[in-house]
């Protein structure tokens, strides 16, 4: 496999990038890490005469705390997030999730923004961030990530627009975040994230996101409502919530398995995530938040 010819345009500002994207229109694409885009080009699934390289735009990099939210620049790599002292202190579950994205080569160059803008249905970060009510900051404004990720390989970005950053509300100390997945050949086949708040031996709030089994990651809101207010020992409620999460997952049959197989994966992963989240009755968000399953 060889790359088709293209012109590479390194830029140092958002305005410069937008000007090039508008000038070349559908013959241009943004490249940051390029881990997925270059593979598409090699396979002949896409073709662009111009690639706008945004790695040199300083404002798209970095990780900072702003109004009790982690703000991660769109060009920040998975490896930078994984190793960030600020992330380790304020949201270690995010660092742990990033530690199991693909492989070290991908994490060294692949960016969080690139992952989300590519909008691959098989994505750890999309599932994780949906469960934490993350927002996308882009040149068109700020929007919930659920609205930014329109569908498979499609986002809310319009021609000439760029993703600037991802804003993640930092969970309180009474929240535990757990992310689990089943992966084949380093690509997720099923991903589930649970964020659980506990008080007085009962669930005061649960957030559940499911991804990689359908065409996009989704929030399982009916499952969340079923768990709100239940006792930590209510096994029947958890079984019902897992079933509701499977119903919400929009699973489709593909090379990873049948619809029923994927629904069962969701049921199992939701129960495991929730049980792990409440295993420590203090339910602190600073506890480890991701367990890697078989790849």
Sequence-ordered list of residues with C-beta below 8 angstroms from that of 72, at least 6 positions apart, any chain: 62, 63, 81, 112, 165, 166, 168
Task: Report d(CA 9, CA 21) in Å as an integer.
Answer: 10
Q: What is the CATH number of the domain that holds 45?
A: 3.30.43.10
Under 8 Å between Cβ of 200 and 253: no
How many Cβ atoms sit within 10 Å of the Cβ of residue 8? 9
Helices 235-248, 259-279: inter-axial angle, 10-degree rounding: 140
- Tens of pLDDT, residues 136-159: 999 989 999 999 999 999 999 999
Under 8 Å between Cβ of 274 and 209: no
Tracing tokens 């060294």 back to the chain, one arrives at 108
Mean pLDDT score, 208-221: 97
Mean pLDDT score, 288-293: 39
- Tens of pLDDT, residues 45-58: 999 999 999 999 99
Domain-embedded: residue 1: no
Helical spans, DSSP H, in 25-118: 37-43, 78-83, 85-90, 92-98, 104-109, 112-118
Structural domain boundaries enclosing 29: 7-53
Task: Report d(CA 162, CA 191) in Å as an integer.
Answer: 27
**Beta bridge partner(s), residue 219:** 209
Sequence-ordered list of residues with C-beta below 8 angstroms from that of 258, at least 6 positions apart, any chain: none
Kindly state whether residues 151 and 88 are assigned to the same domain: yes
Task: Report d(CA 173, CA 197) in Å as an integer.
Answer: 9
Q: Does residue 258 come out as left (phi exceeding 0), alpha (psi in the -120 to 50 range) or beta?
A: beta
Kindly state whether residues 80 and 161 are assigned to the same domain: yes
Mean pLDDT, all residues of the chain: 94
Q: What's the pLDDT score for residue 140?
A: 85
Kindly state whether residues 196 and 148 are assigned to the same domain: no
Kindly state whether residues 15 and 64 are assigned to the same domain: no
Domain-embedded: residue 2: no
- Tens of pLDDT, residues 175-196: 999 999 999 989 999 999 999 9
Q: What is the CATH number of the domain that holds 230?
A: 3.30.390.50
- pTM score, whole prediction: 0.93
Rg (alpha carbons) of the chain, rounded to whole number:
19
Domain-embedded: residue 23: yes
Where among 33, 53, 73 does a domain terminate? 53
Mean pLDDT score, 231-245: 97
Give which of 274, 280, 81 is closest to 180, Cα–Cα: 274
Residue 112: helix, strand or coil by DSSP? helix
Q: Does residue 295 carry a pLDDT above 80?
A: no
Kindly state whether residues 185 and 126 are assigned to the same domain: no
Kindly state whether residues 122 and 108 are assigned to the same domain: yes
Kindly state whether residues 183 and 261 are assigned to the same domain: yes
Q: Does residue 262 carry a pLDDT above 50?
A: yes
Tracing tokens 């881990």 back to the chain, one arrives at 35
Kindly state whether residues 184 and 285 are assigned to the same domain: yes
Q: What percent of the chain has pLDDT over 90?
A: 92
Kindly state whether residues 42 and 64 are assigned to the same domain: no
Domains held by the chain: number: 3
What CA–CA distances, in Å, run from 231 to 75, 171, 204, 227, 278? Answer: 42, 21, 10, 9, 11
Domain-embedded: residue 94: yes
């Amino acid at each position: 496999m060889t790359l088709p010819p293209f012109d590479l345009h390194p830029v140092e500002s958002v305005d410069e990038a937008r000007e090039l994207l508008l000038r070349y229109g559908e013959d241009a694409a943004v490249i940051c890490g390029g881990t997925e885009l270059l593979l598409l080009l090699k396979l002949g699934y896409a073709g662009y005469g111009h690639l706008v390289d945004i790695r040199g735009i300083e404002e798209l990099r970095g990780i900072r705390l702003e109004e009790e939210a982690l703000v991660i620049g769109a060009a920040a790599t998975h490896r930078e997030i994984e190793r960030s002292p600020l992330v380790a202190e304020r949201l270690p579950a995010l660092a742990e999730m990033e530690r199991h994205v693909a492989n070290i080569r991908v994490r060294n160059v692949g960016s969080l923004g690139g992952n989300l803008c590519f909008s691959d249905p098989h994505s750890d970060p999309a599932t994780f961030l949906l469960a934490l009510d993350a927002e996308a900051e882009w040149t068109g404004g700020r929007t919930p990530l659920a609205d930014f990720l329109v569908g498979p390989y499609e986002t809310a970005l319009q021609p000439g627009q760029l993703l600037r950053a991802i804003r993640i509300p930092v969970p309180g100390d009474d929240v535990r975040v757990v992310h689990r997945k089943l992966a084949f050949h380093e690509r997720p086949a099923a991903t589930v994230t649970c964020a659980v708040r506990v008080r007085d031996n009962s669930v005061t709030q649960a957030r559940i996101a499911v991804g990689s089994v359908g065409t996009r990651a989704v929030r399982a809101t009916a499952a969340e409502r079923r768990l709100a207010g239940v006792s930590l020992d209510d096994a029947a409620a958890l079984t019902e919530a897992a079933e509701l999460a499977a119903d919400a997952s929009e699973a489709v049959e593909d090379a990873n398995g049948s619809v029923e197989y994927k629904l069962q994966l969701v049921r199992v992963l939701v129960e495991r995530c929730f049980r792990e989240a409440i295993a420590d009755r203090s339910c602190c968000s600073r506890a480890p938040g991701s367990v890697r399953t078989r790849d």
